[in-house]
């Protein structure tokens, strides 16, 4: 049984034709979609002829599960899938005619031509239509891009030099953006197509002053990249959307066949569509006997501009299709204060569809803006708050820490591990997953347990000659000989074939001896500085390769790694000083125990604090939300500034306004994840992602738009030696019960 309010029921009862549902945060859009589907089935529409599209597997799974709850077994025939899964089915059905012709080089397959020749090497290839293609992930895209550049040079040294000098990562990112607008580079395309492509790139990425020097480079790179994909028989995520929709546009019979398969199409989170997806779906709707296309979304929650989505698709749809418009403006999630202040904040965006969200949830004060001395003070304060509220009876899953910058994730996760608070991270790494910290921890684990083959396997990237085969042999030797440590097991595996691996194992032994003779409170620093550990050498080489074309990024990355190990040593010091006298006699065991705790936290299900980037938390809600960096340039991001842009060219003004408004929408999404309590933290001093220390006159422009002023945090949390016992009710978790309303689901 689905309970709907009056406006949700109007959505569910929509008759025929296009419809636009403006569904604000917490307004119950999923319930409305399922209610709409139930109405359709009850009116005689076969469930198999209803198509529900969304943008994440999680959302698609939730819709399928709720459809099954509403319809029973009949819900299994409803197609609820992501855009990529839907287009993937079309691609597989027509693969032999959809995919671009694959290329197989003749002879040795070395197709080389100069960097100025953008013609396809058609005289050196042959088409192969019988082969299957595979799909690239993000890492695969980078590999193909680098290979595409290398192929343009006969001399390998010249090729590697070109990779270092070219800004190919930026080109690949820009090309991905253009693909989301439907542009694809073609080696033998018309001049006008080339011009349109370059103009579109300028509009998306660059200012007037940057245009001319870069135009030809991007188009040339895109041609190489497309050719390399054909050589490798692969497609990327852009192809998975563009190729099926381009095929359908060029083949009306296939389009008509697909369109007649569905009576109703409903798009969830429609504001997240990019231009290619929108164009494809609106053409499909026009091919239906009746364009029964319903878009459900909120332009104020469009935050994926970096991958081509645009809030303007909702307005385009309204202008072109003239749909019936429904408004879901009651927020069932958040308190009245949160809804009112968040709405007045996002209303500063000029290019949006006006809305009047409201909430009937009454509660005491629910938004708190606190000022702290440093960013680390913020994180300690949040950790203590979680401990206090949990001691008052709040489940861990009631809390979320949301951040614009990923740098907060590892730091707060390290504190949560230290104080045994279970958590899960969305959109980033745990502190203990950073390679420099992981390697240092593996040495500690191996020092306390010489039979820990898993720790040795974690160190394998640092050890020449130690591969999977050798590790399998060493593990078998350990299992067969219960008294062996890793050194004795290595002696048992010694042979000419594994001579290099054996030498590496002896270096590990030497490193452990050095570490055990050093100060345990500088374990991380010693691991970095001691050459035999291999950590610094390995990571310097890895970063030099990753940032070959950006020296400043290389320096910043290495500095972050050392800072992470410095923070790790600070945690070790805290752990040792807070241990009892007997535990403190075994400091390395305490260090290794930190990593065991982290592994246990990752394996737990259910009751966990959520740490997430704002982009990763869409669709989630929590009783209490903390935003640890509600200051510029963290929120808003550095791209925003106060300069007067009215004298800039119109295209540049439009681009900057769009970036500023997206930043405000990102803030709005973070604010509206909170149901009952929202904490905005303003550090007076913090380190940016580029390792710049900012202090002094810190600006918090979004606080002004919310009508708030930050006050000093109510207690100092720089040290938490007795944090677990510190349960003073400075702020009760929830002042009084608030009746939950199922219509918000």
For the annotated binding site for ATP, the residues are: 23-30
3-state secondary structure of 181: coil
Say how far apart CA 278 and CA 271 lie, in whole Å. 10
Dig out the tokens for 500 from the structure: 């290099």
What is residue 101's DSSP assignment?
P
Nearest to 105 by CA among 233, 200, 215: 233
* 693-695 and 685-687 strand pairing: antiparallel
Residues in the annotated binding site: 23-30
Kind of pairing, strands 367-372 and 711-712? parallel
Provide the token pair at 668: 């709005």
For residue 633, say if its preceding peptide bond is cis, omega within 30 degrees of 0.
Answer: yes
Unique residue bearing structure tokens 């002042």: 735
Task: For residue 74, give the 3-state DSSP assignment.
Answer: helix
DSSP for 238-297? HHHHHHHHHHHHH-HHHHHHHHTT-SEEEETTGGG-BHHHHHHHHHHHHHSSS--EEEEE
Angle at 265 between CA 259 and CA 270, to 5 degrees: 125
Instruction: State the helix-helix crossing angle for 29-42 and 57-71, rounded to 10 degrees.
Output: 40
Cβ-count burial 436-469 (b if 16+ within 10 Å, e if not): bbbbbbbbbbbbbebbbbebbbbbbbbbeebeee
What residues contact residue 447 under an 8 Å CB cut-off, 6+ apart?
512, 515, 516, 588, 592
Angle at 696 between CA 690 and CA 700, to 5 degrees: 80
Per the rule left: phi > 0, alpha: psi between -120 and 50, beta: everything else, 361 is: beta
User: 130 is written with which tokens?
Assistant: 């019988």
d(CA 538, CA 290): 61
- The alpha carbon of residue 578 and the mean position of all alpha carbons in its chain are separated, in whole angstroms, by 36
Q: Which two tokens mark 577? A: 């000083």
Ramachandran angles phi, psi of 608, nearest 5°: -145, 145
Instruction: Give the whole-angstrom CA distance, residue 372 versus residue 383.
Output: 14
Classify the C-alpha dihedral 616-69-20-180 as positive or negative: positive
**Among the listed residues 129, 29, 37, the one whose alpha carbon sits nearest the alpha carbon of residue 75:** 37
């Amino acid at each position: 049984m689905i309970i709907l309010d009056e406006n949700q029921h109007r959505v569910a009862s929509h008759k025929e034709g296009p419809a636009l549902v403006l569904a604000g945060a917490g307004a119950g859009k999923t319930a409305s979609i399922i209610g709409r589907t139930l109405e359709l089935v009850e009116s005689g529409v076969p469930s198999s002829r209803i198509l529900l599209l969304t943008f994440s597997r999680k959302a698609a799974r939730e819709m399928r599960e709720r459809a099954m709850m509403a319809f029973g077994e009949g819900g299994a025939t409803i197609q609820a899938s992501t855009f990529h899964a839907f287009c993937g089915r079309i691609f597989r059905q027509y693969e032999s005619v959809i995919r671009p012709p694959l290329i197989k080089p003749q002879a040795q397959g070395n197709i080389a031509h100069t960097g100025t020749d953008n013609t396809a090497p058609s005289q050196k290839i042959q088409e192969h239509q019988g082969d299957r293609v595979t799909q690239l992930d993000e890492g695969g895209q980078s590999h193909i891009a680098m290979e595409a550049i290398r192929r343009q040079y006969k001399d390998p040294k010249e090729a590697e030099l070109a990779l270092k000098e070219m800004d190919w990562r930026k080109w690949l990112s820009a090309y991905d953006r253009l693909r989301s607008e439907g542009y694809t580079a073609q080696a033998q395309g018309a001049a006008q197509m080339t011009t349109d492509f370059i103009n579109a790139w300028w509009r998306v990425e660059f200012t007037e002053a940057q245009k001319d020097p870069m135009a030809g480079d991007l188009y040339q790179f895109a041609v190489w990249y497309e050719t390399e994909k054909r050589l490798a028989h692969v497609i990327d995520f852009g192809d998975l959307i563009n190729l099926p929709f381009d095929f359908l546009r060029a083949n009306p019979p296939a389009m008509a066949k697909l369109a007649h398969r569905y009576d109703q199409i409903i798009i969830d989170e429609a504001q997240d569509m990019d231009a290619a997806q929108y164009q494809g779906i609106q053409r499909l709707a026009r091919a239906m006997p009746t364009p029964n296309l319903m878009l459900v979304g909120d332009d104020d929650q469009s935050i994926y501009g970096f991958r081509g989505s645009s809030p303007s698709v909702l307005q385009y749809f309204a202008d072109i299709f003239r749909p019936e418009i429904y408004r879901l403006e009651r927020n069932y999630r958040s308190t009245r204060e949160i809804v009112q202040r968040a709405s007045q904040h996002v209303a500063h965006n000029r290019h949006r569809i006006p809305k009047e969200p409201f909430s009937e949830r009454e509660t005491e004060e629910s938004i708190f803006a606190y000022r702290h001395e440093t960013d680390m003070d913020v994180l300690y304060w949040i950790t203590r708050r979680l401990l206090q509220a949990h001691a008052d009876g709040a489940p861990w899953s009631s809390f979320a820490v949301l951040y614009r910058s990923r740098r907060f994730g590892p730091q707060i996760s390290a504190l949560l591990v230290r104080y045994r608070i279970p958590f899960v991270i969305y959109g980033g790494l745990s502190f203990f997953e950073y390679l420099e910290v992981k390697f240092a921890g593996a040495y500690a684990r191996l020092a306390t347990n010489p039979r820990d083959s898993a720790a040795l396997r974690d160190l394998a990237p640092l050890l020449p000659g130690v591969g999977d085969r050798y590790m399998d042999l060493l593990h078998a030797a350990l299992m067969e000989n219960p008294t062996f440590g890793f050194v004795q097991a290595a002696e048992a595996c010694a042979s000419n074939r594994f001579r290099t691996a054996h030498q590496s194992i002896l270096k590990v032994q030497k490193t452990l001896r050095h570490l055990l003779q050093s100060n345990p409170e500088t374990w991380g620093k010693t691991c970095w500085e001691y050459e035999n550990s291999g950590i610094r050498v390995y990571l310097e080489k890895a970063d030099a390769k990753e940032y070959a074309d950006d020296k400043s990024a290389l320096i910043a990355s290495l500095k972050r790694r050392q800072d992470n190990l410095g923070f790790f040593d600070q945690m070790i010091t805290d752990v040792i000083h807070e241990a009892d006298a007997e535990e403190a006699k075994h400091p390395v065991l305490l260090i290794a125990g930190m990593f065991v705790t982290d592994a246990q936290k990752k394996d737990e299900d259910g009751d966990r604090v959520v740490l997430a980037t704002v982009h990763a938390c869409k669709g989630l809600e929590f009783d209490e939300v903390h935003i640890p960096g509600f200051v510029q340039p963290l929120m808003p991001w550095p791209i925003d500034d106060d300069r007067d842009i009215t004298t800039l060219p119109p295209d540049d003004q439009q681009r900057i306004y769009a970036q500023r408004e997206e930043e405000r929408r990102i803030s709005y999404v973070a604010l509206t994840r909170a149901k009952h309590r929202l904490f905005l933290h303003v550090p007076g001093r913090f380190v940016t992602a580029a390792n710049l220390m900012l202090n002094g006159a810190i600006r918090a422009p979004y606080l002004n738009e919310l009508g708030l002023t930050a006050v000093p945090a109510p207690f100092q949390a720089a040290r938490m030696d007795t944090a677990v016992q510190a349960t003073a009710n400075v702020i009760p978790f929830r002042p009084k019960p608030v009746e939950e309303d199922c219509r918000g689901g």
